[in-house]
Chains A and B, each alone.
Chain A
Amino acid sequence: NAGVTQTPKFQVLKTGQSMTLQCAQDMNHNSMYWYRQDPGMGLRLIYYSASEGTTDKGEVPNGYNVSRLNKREFSLRLESAAPSQTSVYFCASSEQVAGGGYGYTFGSGTRLTVV
């Protein structure tokens, strides 16, 4: 099915370890995003890529880096994981929808635990 695919679905890291979360979309969307979801705090934007070749910081970028590899793929890297980065991470892409706004399509998430 068309959509946003995230890998892995679950991950446990030790403090200080590094890892990359992968995201790919097959809807030909220009813009892609990485969010983290924490209880009671909703969805907070980490980084976004308005188009291929560009990336920018969102609301909570510290401790993360991103790469927009091509139009389809947008990865998120934790260089030195910390317990505060325990969260559910969502990748999303967006397109203009009927009515002039932009609707997001989210992946199913990566549940990351840092111990």
Chain B
Amino acid sequence: QQQVKQSPQSLIVQKGGISIINCAYENTAFDYFPWYQQFPGKGPALLIAIRPDVSEKKEGRFTISFNKSAKQFSLHIMDSQPGDSATYFCAASMNSGGYQKVTFGTGTKLQVIP
């Protein structure tokens, strides 16, 4: 059962444009929603995260929008740059028996073209 659905699978954006990646979750017990960025040949790295009591979080050009009632959240990359080309994973986590159980989306491969 896939508990976090991510779309689109791939995305091509022109330099300077806005990249938008969407995720939806099912389990209302999730209480932390991070996004990870992965470059080829590297492990994922934590990019930005949000808790469900906040509707938006912004860090530089990266913004998470969170809609608790719709159980959806999205990543917006403003003024997209070729260096942003990577695979992005959304995730949802909750405390489960003393550890943080994290469920990842299937990833979005972003290509920013000059």
Asked whether A42 lies within 8 Å of B105 as measured between CB atoms, the reply is yes
Chain A interface residue count, Cβ-Cβ cutoff 8 angstroms: 26
Check if B60 is an interface residue, CB within 8 A of chain A.
no
Partner of A31 from B34, B36, B100 at Cβ < 8 Å: B100
- Name the residue of chain A whose CB is nearest to the CB of B51: A99
Q: What is the minimal beta-carbon distance from A83 to any residue of chain B, in angstroms? A: 22
Q: In the complex, A107→B44 CA distance in Å?
A: 8
Q: Mark B27-49, 1 if CB is under 8 A from A, else 0.
A: 00001101010000111111001
Interface contacts (Cβ under 8 Å), in number, total 65
Q: Which of A4, A45, A97, A106 has the most CB of B within 10 A?
A: A106
Q: Mark B75-86, 1 if CB is under 8 A from A, else 0.
A: 000000000000
Asked whether B100 lies within 8 Å of A40 as measured between CB atoms, the reply is no
Check if A94 is an interface residue, CB within 8 A of chain B.
yes
Check if B114 is an interface residue, CB within 8 A of chain A.
no
Q: In the complex, A43→B47 CA distance in Å?
A: 16
Say what secondary structure dominates the interface of chain A: strand
Q: What is the minimal beta-carbon distance from B98 to any residue of chain A, in angstroms? A: 5
Asked whether A43 lies within 8 Å of B44 as measured between CB atoms, the reply is yes
Check if A53 is an interface residue, CB within 8 A of chain B.
no
Asked whether A43 lies within 8 Å of B93 as measured between CB atoms, the reply is no
Known interface pairs A42-B106, A50-B99; A103-B43 also in contact (CB < 8 Å): no
Check if B20 is an interface residue, CB within 8 A of chain A.
no
Q: Mark A89-100, 1 if CB is under 8 A from B, else 0.
A: 010101001011
Given contacts A43-B89, A99-B32, A106-B44, 14 further A-B contacts (CB under 8 A): A40-B9, A43-B44, A45-B102, A48-B99, A51-B98, A101-B31, A101-B34, A101-B51, A103-B46, A104-B102, A105-B45, A106-B45, A108-B43, A109-B41
* A binding-site residues for B, Cβ under 8 Å: 4, 31, 40-45, 48, 50-51, 90, 92, 94, 97, 99-109
